[in-house]
Structure 1
């Protein structure tokens, strides 16, 4: 976020610093793949849902497109990432798939043991909103899933049918900054997450064709 904020200031020195920080972050991401890259064979057992790292990688890729102007257009007239960045995005997508981060029962199982009020709700919402952001970025750059051969059944693209969880909810609560805003937006059922009822009828994947059409302008190729 700091890098993007510096860039959006439109000041020459700030933009130069943003690019420098972006390059440093890119090097760090690639040097520490062992801590986050579950796309590597047998690596998923060592990656424990590093959400903050995945968010940083996604922001890193968004900025890469921002300051490079989106690159050239592909045949589908969508902006493209540089090859190294496209590969990084595909590795991130495959990692999320292998870790089960797009599947609601897995999300619930990962966070439902917490006894802290509100923590489970925030954590579950964070994963859902990250998954949706990843889906939108994948669609924006027309990622084709070229890495399928490396990882068996997991390709490097997210489709609407992969979004096996309910939509995010209670945006005012998610955006709450102060205690007063939180208490005003909180609802009685916010902490009612149950592994016995993962709400399958509410999953985004049930409306995959409509979601894909809205997000990309073309029907889903399932």
Structure 2
């Protein structure tokens, strides 16, 4: 049976790993290695006013330029830790066939994002979320789906998924980013309601 110190160390390593994985996911989404892909929660591509609403997300990204690439990090650390047992490590599962499958599918989803094949990417990440319910993998897959809807300007769908992440995985690192996304989208809606032009409002009432 593992010593208490070993359990504490393993738990700390697990938390650190998932922090890095979320950051790498955001770097992939925001265009790491010079590629322009998705903005992080609360940062549409051409809106500097969103910086304050998503400060915590942008700060994490800007401070993590030297993190390992996803494949290197997953290979050295492994995935598939359950997040539904507070403070516990799910059997010490490291690199396995399950983790390898998630790794490959995750990278394929990122490639689809970069190609602009958002529908296919959403389908792939949705399948991953269903395959690994109540795990950190699922929370990351859900976050990617929300980001894809955000990029496609489907704000209602993005908000719905951000809220689902917070409700289903409240203590995950994905939930931290989802909260930033919720804050931005709700602030955006309030701004639109307060500053919509009379002409547009009149057209809405007239139905065209």
Q: Same fold (TM over 0.5)?
A: no
More helix by share: 2
Larger relative contact order (CA 8 Å, sep ≥ 6): 2
Given the two structures, how large is their TM-score scaled by the length of structure 1? 0.29
Given the two structures, how large is their TM-score scaled by the length of structure 2? 0.30
